Amino acid sequence: MKSQSRRSFLKQSSAAVLTAPLFVPHLMSKPPSRRVRHASFGAEGMAGSDIGSITSHPNVQLVCVAEVDANKQRAVRKRFPKANIYQDWRAMLDKEGKNLDSVNVSTPDHMHAPMAMSAMQLGLHAYVQKPLAHDLYEVRRLTEVARQRKLITQMGIQIHSATEYRLGVQIVRDGSIGRIEEVHSFSNKKWGDPRPRPDRSDKAPAHLNWDWWIGVAPSCPFLAGYYHPGEWRRRLDFGTGTFGDMGCHIYDPVFEALALTAPTSVESEGRAPAGHNWANDALIRYTFPGTRYTAGKTVRVIWYDGDQRPGKAVRDRIGRNLPDQGSVFIGTKGVMLLPHVGRPVLFPERDFKEFRMPKVQGANHYHQFIDAILGTGRTSAGFDYSGPLTEAVLLGGVATHFPKTALEWDSARLAFRNSEKATRLVRRNYRKGWEVTGLSGRA
């Protein structure tokens, strides 16, 4: 966001909208006023924000936190002096798992699935930051296990519950701009790196357990300022590039508004990743099956990042400069610009001069998660929704490895019909000694 951070934006969200409670076997016999015993994977940055937002619910107790960087433990120790702090997340689950109800996973992308799956195998409800996982297979398995175990889940796409995105979804679903012909989504972020990995090895600082930070990923040397703390998004083994960072946010209202399912094909026109790093300036074309909200039997959704932007034909429909991030919905009766994050604007403006925006109420994305655990509400971005959304996003990352190749996707098989090489990128092998039940070996 340009005018305000995600964290400050969240504080303005209203209370969660309550709907029919979900059935939670191990909690239904306990009164809804009981405290939810919570643990965090991660202590600072987005993890610190998630901890603060989740514990702002009056029925939450932070029991413990796992953080591999001892320096990053200081702030959470000060805020929550009664919480137990661990450097090894596996030790935390072994010792505290039976005394917990829920977790949040707010770490680099490559550890989302191992941590979430390990917690879910213990019957713990999971709030997992976007993207849900690093690889497509991991996303599918998290979705399946959450469903099988009837766990409460929520992905950290908090703007999903905000008034602005809900309003954009409602406008499309009301048919105010007609049926949708295509959507153009974009972000100016550049989480790639064209430079080769430095040919050196630095000594990891004493406060960081580098081996534990690498986790399930392939072993690599510590390089000061290259991975930790903030540059891992650029690296193939640890992050998911610009699309992984922002795609789950910006595609979210597109996915929901159009009731999209799995795409049938995806094609990248940008640069391929170089060496260990993602590329910048992606342009990725998706074809999805049409829905009752689209104009045809299929609908195109195009993603642009970095210096890439929708072409003149799209910009002319708007008649103004595009924001740094957002989506343009091209409908049969008009066009909607939905900034990230901002109120939707309809075009041509003269045609919508008298248009009255529908009344839509926002919700607290984090409190939804806790209320659902307590049996007094439900989540809006549980894994049954956010899993398929994340799969679609991660398909774009795979496509960047094969520029100008239309990859035909078979969602049921988690495979590409026309590329064995691309199918090999659907799933990675975990580093020896870091196998995780439910993710390693056969499912």
The pLDDT value given to residue 245: 96
Q: What average pLDDT does the structure give for the chain?
A: 92
| Per-residue pLDDT at 123 exceeds 80 | yes
Q: Give me the CATH code for the 161-192+239-352 domain, please.
A: 3.30.360.10
Q: Which CATH number fits domain 6-158+368-383: 3.90.1150.10, 3.40.50.300, 3.40.50.10490, 3.40.50.720?
A: 3.40.50.720
| Per-residue pLDDT at 275 exceeds 70 | yes
268 has which bridge partners? 284
Give residue limits of the domains in the chain. Answer: 6-158+368-383, 161-192+239-352
The pLDDT value given to residue 373: 98
The pLDDT-based confidence of 416 (bands split at 50, 70, 90) is very high
The pLDDT-based confidence of 34 (bands split at 50, 70, 90) is confident
* Tokens encoding 93: 């689950």
The pLDDT value given to residue 440: 85
> Hey, do 6-158+368-383 and 161-192+239-352 end up sharing a CATH topology, with the first three levels equal?
no
Alpha helices in 279-425 (DSSP H): 312-318, 365-373, 383-399, 420-423
Specify the higher pLDDT residue, 409 or 18.
409
| Per-residue pLDDT at 89 exceeds 70 | yes
Any idea which of 14-18, 254-258, 291-295, 385-389 has the lowest mean pLDDT?
14-18
Indicate the pTM of the whole model: 0.92
Using alpha carbons, select from 201, 191, 193, 197 the residue that is nearest to residue 224.
201
E-strand spans in 290-418?
A: 298-305, 325-331, 335-339, 345-347, 407-410, 415-416
Any idea which of 16-25, 93-102, 273-282 has the lowest mean pLDDT?
16-25
